[in-house]
C-alpha cells in the first residue's frame, strides 16, 4: 500500500476515482492506504492514472546499481503520455502537485524515475 499527498493548485477542483468529492483548488489532501488502480481527473487535461504493480518489476527499469529499483513493491503513474515508475518497502508515499495550468510534479519518497512505456504496439 501507499499514501498519496495531493496538492491542487489548478483553476478548478479535481475528482479522485470518479467520486462525488471535489478536491478544491489551493488545498492539500491526504489519501492514505491506497492499493490497486486510482485516477485523479483534471478537467481539460485528463486523468492521472496511478497503477499499483504489487511485487512485479519493470525489467527494463530494474538495475542492481540503482538500489531503489530492487525494492519489493512498486507502481507507475501515467499522465498525458508521460510515465513515472516507483518502488518502495513497507508503506510507500507519493506526492502529487497540480499547478495552475494543469501540469503535475511528482515525488516518490523511496525512489522513482521517469520511464517510457509504450501506449500501443503493433505486432
Q: Would you list the domain boundaries of the chain?
A: 2-115
Write down the pTM of the prediction: 0.94
| Cell, residue 104 | 503535475
- Give the count of alpha carbons within 13 A of 9, CB side only: 9
| 2-115: CATH class | mainly beta
Could you give the CA distance from residue 48 to residue 45 in angstroms, rounded to a whole number?
A: 9
Contact 62, 69 (CB under 8 A): yes
Could you give the CA distance from residue 109 to residue 5 in angstroms, rounded to a whole number?
A: 11
Contact 91, 69 (CB under 8 A): no
Q: What is the full per-residue pLDDT of the chain (123 aa) written as tens digits?
A: 999 999 999 999 999 998 878 899 999 999 999 999 999 999 999 999 999 999 999 999 999 999 999 999 999 999 999 999 999 999 999 999 999 999 999 999 999 999 999 999 999
Closest CA to 59 of 117, 105, 19: 117
Amino acid at each position: 500500500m501507499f499514501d498519496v499527498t495531493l496538492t491542487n493548485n489548478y483553476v478548478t477542483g479535481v475528482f479522485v476515482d470518479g467520486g462525488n468529492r471535489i478536491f478544491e483548488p489551493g488545498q492539500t489532501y491526504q489519501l492514505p492506504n491506497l492499493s490497486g488502480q486510482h485516477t485523479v481527473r483534471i478537467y481539460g487535461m485528463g486523468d492521472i492514472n496511478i497503477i499499483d504493480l504489487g511485487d512485479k518489476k519493470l525489467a527494463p527499469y530494474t538495475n542492481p546499481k540503482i538500489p531503489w529499483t530492487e525494492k519489493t513493491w512498486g507502481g507507475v503513474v501515467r499522465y498525458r503520455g508521460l510515465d513515472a515508475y516507483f518502488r518502495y518497502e513497507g508503506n510507500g508515499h507519493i506526492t502529487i502537485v497540480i499547478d495552475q495550468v494543469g501540469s503535475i510534479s511528482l515525488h516518490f519518497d523511496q525512489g522513482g524515475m521517469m520511464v517510457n512505456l509504450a501506449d500501443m504496439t503493433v505486432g
